[in-house]
């Protein structure tokens, strides 16, 4: 009989040493998982083969970024800006469906409350929209006008009210 052991997900703050692991999670999340909902051209624009890890680290450090690990390895990451945008939610394809996104969004919501924010906003991909709904976010509108490196990647503007 197949038995899938529960995995232990740890969420902590991001540090520069996480730049490579978070890029890997981003790349695999898009190339393996989001590729079911977007074309090869869209995927290639969204997750190019190469990255400048210095710039990547600067962008992750500019927001409140949280990293999820499983047995010490980066499984995913998410973030929130001071004005309430959850910009990134990416889970490595090897760790999908294990509650990593739920753990990350829990940390983001706690941070948003600590910042005194009334709501969280996100631009959810087709892939992530159903998961965001499970976390209580609501679709405000479909956004057909999202462009990355010359490719159109339609997504959804979503919002979570915080009491
Ligand atoms: C979307 C994504 C972050 C989900 O990560 P995950 O760790 O696999 O998600 P979780 O295991 O925490 O599951 C979250 C919840 O959403 C549900 N869910 C996930 N995908 C779903 C789908 N396609 N349809 C319905 N429900 C779904 C899960 O059942 C779970 O619900 P539950 O906790 O109430 O049981 C991940 O698939 C990913 O990185 N996708 C590609 C990148 C991407 O599009 N990122 C978002 C950019 S805006």
> What percent of the chain stands above pLDDT 70?
97
Q: What is the mean pLDDT of residues 53-62?
A: 98
Q: What is the mean pLDDT of residues 135-161?
A: 97
Check residue 118 and give its pLDDT. Answer: 97
Hey, what domains does the chain have and what are their CATH numbers?
9-116 (3.40.630.30)
Q: How far is CA 117 from CA 23, 86, 123, 130, in A?
A: 28, 12, 17, 23
Check residue 35 and give its pLDDT. Answer: 98
Expressed in angstroms and rounded, the spacing between residue 128 Cα and the centre of ligand 1 is 6
Check residue 103 and give its pLDDT. Answer: 98
What are 103's two structure tokens?
Answer: 């753990």
Cα separation, 148 vs 159, in Å, equals 22
Cα separation, 39 vs 59, in Å, equals 26
Ligand 1 near 97 CB (within 6 A): yes
The neighbour count for residue 1, using CB atoms within 10 Å, is 2
**70-91: pLDDT as tens digits:** 999 999 999 999 999 999 999 9
Q: Give the CA radius of gyration of the chain.
A: 15
DSSP state at residue 162:
-
When the pLDDT of each residue in the chain is averaged and rounded to a whole number, the result is: 96
What are 43's two structure tokens?
Answer: 């995927």
**The pTM is what?**
0.96
On whether the CB atoms of residues 120 and 103 are closer than 8 A, the answer is: no
**91-136: pLDDT as tens digits:** 999 999 999 999 999 999 999 999 999 999 999 999 999 999 999 9
Check residue 6 and give its pLDDT. Answer: 74
Q: How remote is the C-alpha of 90 from its chain's centroid?
A: 3
**1-21: pLDDT as tens digits:** 566 667 899 999 999 999 999
Contacts of 78 (CB under 8 A, 6+ apart): 65, 66, 86, 88, 89, 90, 101, 104, 105, 107, 108
Q: What is the mean pLDDT of residues 54-82?
A: 98
Expressed in angstroms and rounded, the spacing between residue 25 Cα and the centre of ligand 1 is 14
Expressed in angstroms and rounded, the spacing between residue 101 Cα and the centre of ligand 1 is 6
Check residue 2 and give its pLDDT. Answer: 62
On whether the CB atoms of residues 90 and 77 are closer than 8 A, the answer is: yes
What are 133's two structure tokens?
Answer: 């709904």
Report the residue count for the chain. Answer: 163
Which of the listed residues 101, 105, 107, 120 should we mutate to test ligand 1's pocket, taking the one with most ligand atoms within 8 A of CB?
A: 101
């Amino acid at each position: 009989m197949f038995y899938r052991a529960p995995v232990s997900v740890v969420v902590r703050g991001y540090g520069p040493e996480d730049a490579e692991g978070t890029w890997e999670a981003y790349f695999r999340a898009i190339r393996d998982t989001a590729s079911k909902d977007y074309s090869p051209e869209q995927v290639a624009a969204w997750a190019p083969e190469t990255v400048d890890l210095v710039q990547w680290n600067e962008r992750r450090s500019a927001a409140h970024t949280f990293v999820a690990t499983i047995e010490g390895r980066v499984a995913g990451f998410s973030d929130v800006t001071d004005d309430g945008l959850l910009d990134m939610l990416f889970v490595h394809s090897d760790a999908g469906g294990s509650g990593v996104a739920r753990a990350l969004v829990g940390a983001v919501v706690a941070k948003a409350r600590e910042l005194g924010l009334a709501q969280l906003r996100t631009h959810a991909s087709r892939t992530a929209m159903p998961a965001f709904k499970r976390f209580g976010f609501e679709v405000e509108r479909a956004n057909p006008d999202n462009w990355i490196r010359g490719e159109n990647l339609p997504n959804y503007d979503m919002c979570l009210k915080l009491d």
